[in-house]
Structure 1
Amino acid sequence: MARTRSTRASSRGGWRDRHGRGIRAAVTGPFLPPLRTRIDLFDLTVSAAASYLRDLWPEELATVRFEVAAVPASVSSTGEVERWSVYASERRIVLYRLPIERLARLHRDDELHRRMVIESCVFRAVAELIGKDPWELAPDRFRHF
């Protein structure tokens, strides 16, 4: 026996909801914040650190582009996996998310320490680009009075 479409489904132009319960809501619901993924947190941390350094070094970092990639295209000649690449001629820094996240040896695995590892990689990459020591980039940030 052939099934016929219900009148309710046909009145909406062929659109069907699940068992007549209405349109599905977001996974997090209307009262919860959207989900935060590791990729989003990584991008947010890189952009915050880059913005902080641009405020401190506006002339040196005015035209620098910060990019995030999953992994480097090739393994370095030493056999180590690079955490970042600096292209001085192109004024570009590429940070590699997976090596930074997975190869970090954290003594405490929480959001603060993961963020500190990401920020330290941004600082070291910028220091390599402009020819300074990473501790010279923001000396007041590490002074505790």
Structure 2
Amino acid sequence: MVHARRTVSGRSSRTGSRDRHGRGIRASVTGPRLPLLHTRANIFEATVAATAEYLKDLWPAELADVRVEIAAVPSSESGSRRIRRWLVVPRERRIILYRLPIERLARLHRNDDLHRRMMVESCVFRAVAELLGKDPWDLAPERFRHF
């Protein structure tokens, strides 16, 4: 059975915006004066993107066609009991970073924003170094920090 949609002034009543009972469109949860919420996933993605761009600027020829992707967890296809933090696929010039293992298996001596960011950066450095067959220290000696 097909239901007809009611339209109000030429617009469908089931649009993405909400104007319930003439009260206006809903505002964001944080309100107009507070900053938007930043989730761990958003911060992780921003850190990976910034680090990958930094390395692509340093090594433009070697990393021009490399794709850096983010996944939540590795697939359970590998028979190893070791949990991967990243996967490098050289044939496809692709790096997949696994967010949850990187975040949750980190043994940081200080668990704050700076040290978590440094941990993510070091994983990106190590994954890119694995792809290029180099030592992570050779990519950017003044920036790489190993945790």
TM class, shorter-chain normalised?
Answer: 0.7 to 0.9
In the other structure, the counterpart of 1:67 is: 69
Matched residue, 2:20: 16
In structure 2, runs of 5+ residues without a counterpart are 1-10, 14-18
Aligned length: 130
1:131 aligned to which of 117, 130, 133:
133
Q: Which amino acid aligns with 2:130?
A: E
Structure with bigger helix share is 1
State TM-score, norm by structure 1: 0.81
Matched residue SS, 2:129: helix
Question: Partners in 2 of 1:76 and 1:112 — Cα distance?
Answer: 32
Q: How much has 1:26 moved relative to structure 2? A: 1.2
Aligned-partner Cα distance in 2 for 1:82–1:131:
18
Could you tell me how far apart the structure 2 residues matched to 1:62 and 1:86 are?
Answer: 16
CA distance in 1, matches of 2:36, 2:134: 39
Query: Which of 91, 94, 98 in structure 2 is aligned with 1:92?
Result: 94
Q: What residue identity is the alignment partner of 1:63?
A: D
Is contact 1:83–1:96 with CA below 8 Å preserved after alignment?
A: yes
Distance 2:44 2:59 in 1: 22
Query: C-alpha separation between the residues in 2 aligned to 1:75 and 1:54?
Result: 30
Q: Deviations over 1:80-117 (max 9, x none)?
A: 10000000000000000000000001111111111011
Are the equivalent residues in 2 in contact too, given 1:75–1:82 (CA < 8 A)? no
Q: Which has the larger radius of gyration?
A: 1
Contact residue 75 and residue 81 of structure 1 kept, 8 A? no
Q: Distance in 2 between matches of 1:38 and 1:141?
A: 23
Once the two structures are TM-superposed, the CA of residue 76 in structure 1 deviates from its matched residue by: 4.1
Query: Partner residue of 1:8?
Result: none
Q: Which residue of 1 aligns with 2:83?
A: 81
CA RMSD of aligned residues (A): 2.1
SS of 1:52 mapped into structure 2: helix
Match of 2:56 in 1: 54
- Amino acid across the alignment from 1:93: I
